[in-house]
Structures are given as C-alpha cells and as structure tokens.
Chain A
Amino acid sequence: MGDGLLVDLSRLQFATTTLYHYLFVPLTLGLAPYVALLETLHWRTGKDSYRRLARFFGSLLIINFAMGIVTGIVQEFQFGMNWSVFSRFVGDVFGAPLAMEGLFAFFLESTFLGLWLFGRDRLPRGVHVACIWIFTLGTWLSAYFIIVANSWMQHPVGYAIDPLTGYPVLNDIGAVLFQPFALWAYAHTVLGGLVAASVFVFAVAAYHLKRRQHVGEMRWAWRTAIAMGLIAATGQMIVGDVLGVIVTDVQPMKIAAGEALWETEGPCASLGIVAIIDQEARENTWELSIPCLLSIVATNSVDGVVVGANELQEQYEEQFGPGNYTPNVWIAFYAFRLMMGFGLIGAAWMLVAWWRTRKGRLPEGRVFWAISIWIVFTPWLGNMFGWIFTENARQPWVVYDMLLTRDAVSQISPTFLLISLPVFFLLYGAFAIVEFILLRRYVIKGPPTDDEPMAGQPAPPRPAQVA
C-alpha cells in the first residue's frame, strides 16, 4: 500500500470537505440555544421584541443548519468511499457512537426542527418552545457522539485486539463514551460554538447599531452576546488548558509539534511565541520564547518535563520500526497559535466594546463599528485552525499508535478522486456563495417589522418599538 497520489488526494478531499462542514457546525451549536432562549423569553414575558429577535436569528440559524446537515451526511459516505481500510479497521468500535448519533441525535434534530418550523400554529405555545430546545439538545448530542468517535481515534480505549484479524474489538463502551479526552474535547467543541455564535450575534447587532436601526432589539442582542461571549471564552481558556495537559499525556508528539519542541526540556521548559522551523534538520533556526511557561501550561507545574519530538521519534522507531513519526511541525506550531489568537480575539474585542457602549452609549467612530462587524470571521478561523492543528499534529496516524493514515485509504483508482475533487469544489464553492449571499441579505434586512404577522398569531395591536 501507500500509493502517494491516492493518499494525498484522499486526504485533501477529506480535509477540505470536513473543514467545509465545520463552517456550519459551530454557529448551529451556539445559535440554537440562543434562539431557544429568545423563544422562551417571548413565551414567558410576551414582549414583542423577543419574538422579532427569535424570528430574525431563527432564520439565520436555519439557513446555516441546512448546509450543516447535508455536508455532514457527505462525511458519513466518505468514511466508506475513501477510507474503507480505516472503516474496516475501526468499524467494531467506531460504529457504536455513530449508531448512537443516528438514533439519539439525528432523528431528534430533524424531527423537532420540522415541528418548530411548521408547528407554530399547530402546537400549544409551551410545547412549541420545547421543540426548539429538543432540537438544540439534538445538535449538542450529535456533537458529543462524533467527538467521542474522533477522540477514540486520538486516544483509543475500551478495546482489545482480535488475535485473528488484528483489528481492535470493542470491549468497554463506557470507556469510549466517558474517557476524559472525549469529555474535555467535547466541552472544547461546544464552547468554540458558543464563542462563534456570540461573536456572530455581536457583529450582526453592530451592523444595525451602527446604522441606528432596530436599536432596542439590537442593544439587547449586543449585551447578551457580550455576556455569552465572555463567559464562553473564559470557560474555553480553562477547558483548553485542561485538554492541553491531557493531550500532553496521551499524545506527546502532538504537543511537541504544536510547541515546536525538538529536544526534551524541563524542568522549566520555555514556550515559543514565534519560531523559524527547520523540519529537515529537526530544529528551530530561531525562536522567541518565554521561560518556564511551557512546563506550566503542559503539565500544570513549573518543574514539569516536556518531551521533545526527537526523543519521541526515537521511541516510535524502537516501537514501530523505521519511519517518520513526526508531523509537519510548521503547520502544527502556527495552527495552534492561530487557533488561540483567532479564538480569543473576539472576546477581547468584546471587552473593549462593552466599555465603549457602557450605560447605553453608541460611539460615532467608524473604526469601532468596522472592527465590531468584521471581527465576525475570527471565530471561524479559530475553529478551523483548531481542527487543522489537532488532525495534522497526530499524523502520520489516523488511529493513534495503531493505524497509519497512508494505510487507511480505499484502494480505488486515483481517477475517481480526480473526478470527485472538482465535483466537491464546484458544488461546495457554489453553495458557499449562495449561503453567504442569503445570510448577508437576511442580516441586512433585520428583524421583521410589525406588518409581518407570524403564522397563526395576530399582528400586535400597534407598532411597539422598544427603542
């Protein structure tokens, strides 16, 4: 095995289609509970501004969710189409969380989304509100089960090797479902979604506040987005730190690559901020670093020793035979930093924005509003780089320490890839444009005005402008 072109094309296709899928996932995870909260507030208080906000952000959620669900179905097909050796190898373990995702999450999401979208005048109000909450639960469960499956690839647990086939065989589903790696990676994922949705709502509110339109509703959205964003980002820093320590323990090579640490260091290992990396020579030609910080973040102790990539490479060669077991350090190092930078800059700016708009002020400065709007892209970049980091820095393994990525591909003609890649690029490219245009139109249009009554509900007696 190991047809280089086939492996490269298969990886390119899976990486691009997964990242594309992940354009839609974080916003769904974060915006669904936000819309559910708005629906609940409208139900409990009867205030019309909540109704308009729920409807506004609900439409944006739906436009986004439609793409998220179908691009997810594509990935399920691709496991078998492009990674059949992987599928055969992991099927006994991997199948269980996927089956749970199908039966416990996908059906829940899709059925209750339908009930929420079309059931407004068919269901009692409380039941209707419950539907959007159950939909939200479905999206969160779906994320959980797929993270469980991914975490097993990062850190296989709860299995034994079948002596006949050499494949892992599931023997402890509890270990797979509740291993710390999976639980913390899940928290990391969901918080990434909440940060993304907060920055999204924040930027949408900024667009309208800048123009002094829908001021009442948008001020509420602005404030809640800042609150949600700051809480989620704070949580993310804590969770990211815990996850970092776990990864250092179970995937030391990932952290060595992510920190561009070639030689074992410690106690008091220093953390590189910028580095010029020479992958061939297995060293950094230049770096700027902070003393002791790496020991603290990777091991929670100043005295901690962090093992470098060169020592790990030797260990791997001893265990698995000759080969290259070091991922691309350049990608790992910078993806890691870009993840943190883009992931947190939105929340940092929210602090500034909160100060500038305290006590109801609306600043005049063009730059302030421009930044508040354009910052919308940063959480997406943060989430992308996070996945690039975690998936790239575990190479060459697809199942950690068990199955090499290059051995996992379907033995199909590379011609098939040369057909399917352009098909995906064209299809996904075209739909990205359509989706972006639609989202932009709906954002600019703003919340519905009062002459657009919702199905089954009479229009409010008179325009109740909150502002």
Chain B
Amino acid sequence: MGLPELWFVIVAVLWTGFFFLEGFDFGVGMLARTLGSDEAERAQMLTAIGPVWDADEVWLVTGGIAIFAAFPAWYAALFPAAYLPLLLVIVAIVVRAVAIEYRSKRPGPAWRSRWDTAVAVASLLLAFLFGVFWAGIVHGIPIDASGQFVGRSLLSFINPYSVLGGLTLLAFSLAHGATFLALKTAGSVQRKNEAWATRFDFVAGALMTAFAAWTYWSYSRDDAIALGVGILAVAGMLVALIANLRTRPLLAFWAHGVAIAAFVASMFIALYPNVLPSTLDPEASLTVAGAAASPYSLGVITVVAAIGLPMVIAYQAWSFWVFRKRITVEDAQRSHYA
C-alpha cells in the first residue's frame, strides 16, 4: 500500500470519526426539540453534548482538509460540482453552531424555543445531506474527460441510491443520539431515550440493510471483503438493536461505531480505485493515484497525521472520560448552557 492508498484510508477514517461522533450530536440536536417536554429537559439534552460537540465537528473539517491536502484534484472536482448542496450544508453548520451556543444567552421561552427549532432543523439537514453527499459520490457524477463537471449541481447528487444513503445516515443519527442520551442522562429524559433508541434502531437497521445490499450489488466488485463489510454494517445495527432492547446503551453505542465504520468502509471499497466516478465515461473517473498529491507532500502530511491523530484521539477520549457522569436536569441548570 502506497501513500495515496494510505490517505484514501485516512480520509475514510476521518469521516468515520465524524459520523460516529457528530452523528450522536445531530441526533441529540433533533431529539432535544422533539423529546424534551420542557425547556429544562432540552437544556439537559444539549448539555450532554455541550462539552464535546464542537470538537466532534472538527472531524468534518479535518476530513475535508484531508481531501484537499492529499487529493487536490478530488477536492477541486468535487466541491464546485456539489456547490448548491454544500451551500445548504454551510448554512446549516453556521445556524446550528450559533444556535446551540446562543440559545442559553438569554432567558425567555420564545428565544430558546426558536433556537431549539433551528438546532433540530439544521441537524436533520446535515445528517441527511452528508449521507446524500457520500452516496452521491459513490454513484458518480457527470464529469467529462477533462475533469470538468457538466451536470446541474443540486440534482446531480440526487438519485434513489443517494437519497437512501441520506435517510440511512439520518436514521442512524437519531438512533445513535437516543442511545447517547440513554447513556449520558438521568431521569425521565433517560427513560424516553431508552424507549426511542430501540425504535430508531429498528428503522436505521432496516435502512442500513437496504443500503448495504444496494452498495454491494450495484456498486462493488464481487469480492469477499465488500460482502464482509456489508454484513458487518448490518450485524452492528442488529447488535445495537438487541442491546437497546435490553437497555444496554453502552454496548449499543459501540455497536453503532462498528456499523458506521463498516458503512463508510463499504462506500470507500465501492469507490476504489476511483475517488470520483464519472457517470458519463468510466475513463473520465478520477482515481486515487491520479488525484493524489506529490510523494513529498503526502510524506509531510503523513508525519503530521502520525503525530496529530493519536494526540487528538487521546485528549478527546480524556475529555469524554472527564464528562462521563450522567447529566441531570439540575446539572444542566448549573452548566454553561443554563
């Protein structure tokens, strides 16, 4: 495996980290508005992600930068092609981050309720759009032999497969978010989320199965690894469902991690050796080797990643450990999000 292949894997790892971590933040963002019976319960749910959601989002930023740094041609072809969907993503990211931070800056139910709605809508959009985005990449977009995108931006990413990808990630985020809250909150919020985690897992598991099957049959080469990864994604969701049925949210949380890693891996395996398939002409597809940066540049960022990633994982894990305690309604009222 050369450096380009290594970076293809690192990009997959970074996006897996993003979906695994920010996935529950998206879920909590949606659930706070819908499951919280009053302002205090919403604050409780948002406080559960308060210390970590911002760092979780950096996995997205780094995932994007990794594409830019390791595969400049991929970044340069993909981002203009996805202009309008990405514009929507940007708006949702800005609104969501500001809303989470500013909701607690003024008392008053109207102010808070409006921001809570903004958090929920933006979280829903993001979870859905990132699924559409990646499944859309796997499906391919109309680029011609010169690498120029020739489609209509918004619609080029919309097809039945990519919509299924979006719905899968959306349902996954809800299941993952409910599981996280079952694990991290106490009182009535905990009980509500224990119940809902099972329901969401049922839906997310079904969608994941459909998506894995479609990926395997329509987009992957017929080999054992692709099949194994598809099965792993389904098995992860199944274990999560059973774990949530038995009220074991910690097991379900990690099973979701396995499932989402397999979900991302299945798409990257389907892509390889391409990074951006052309729907017009297979020859025009952008490949891992063709899009990669120079060996020296890849060497530099490999050293950066070798030093940086273990450090990041270590202190982020430490931060999760610091905030391991369950959050009660009273905790939230004494927190930064009070």
Contact = CB atoms under 8 A, between A and B. Distances in A.
Given A76-B65, A118-B336, A423-B87, A169 B297 contact: yes
B302 to A, nearest CB: 10
B80 A80 contact: yes
Interface in B298-317: 300-301, 304-305, 307-309, 312, 315-316
A266 interface: no
Contacts, number: 215
Chain A CB count within 10 A is highest, among B54, B62, B102, for: B54
B93 A73 contact: yes
Interface residues of A, number: 68
Nearest to B49: A114
Contacts of A73: 57, 60-61, 90, 93-94
A466 interface: no
Contact of A118 (B51, B97, B309): B51
A62 to B, nearest CB: 7
A412 B57 CA distance: 28
Contact of A80 (B62, B78, B84): B78
A94 to B, nearest CB: 8
Interface in B123-179: 148, 153
Chain A binding surface, main DSSP class: helix
B300 A104 contact: no
B232 to A, nearest CB: 28
Given A80-B80, A102-B58, A96 B64 contact: no
B64 A114 contact: no
A85 interface: yes
Contact of B98 (A67, A77, A171): A67
Interface string A376-417: 000000000000000000000000000000000011100010
A356 interface: no
A99 B304 contact: yes
Nearest to A411: B148
A10 to B, nearest CB: 11
A278 interface: no
Nearest to A95: B69
A113 interface: yes
A401 B211 CA distance: 49
Given A76-B61, A81-B83, A102-B61, A122 B300 contact: no
B102 A427 contact: no
Contacts of A220: none
B62 A69 contact: no
B319 A111 contact: yes
B94 A170 contact: no
B50 interface: yes
Chain B CB count within 10 A is highest, among A100, A411, A423, A442, for: A100
Contacts of B101: 62-63, 66
A111 B55 contact: yes
A293 interface: no
A170 B300 contact: yes
Nearest to B47: A118
A466 B78 CA distance: 59
B297 A96 contact: yes
Given A77-B64, A118-B51, A419 B322 contact: no
8 contacts: A71-B94, A73-B61, A74-B93, A80-B78, A81-B82, A99-B301, A103-B304, A123-B322
Interface of A: 62-63, 66-67, 69-71, 73-74, 76-77, 79-82, 84-85, 87-88, 90-96, 98-104, 106-108, 110-115, 117-119, 121-123, 162, 169-171, 173, 410-412, 416, 419-420, 423, 427, 431, 434, 438, 441-442, 455-456
Given A77-B90, A431-B94, A455-B335, 4 more contacts: A96-B69, A103-B308, A111-B55, A438-B102
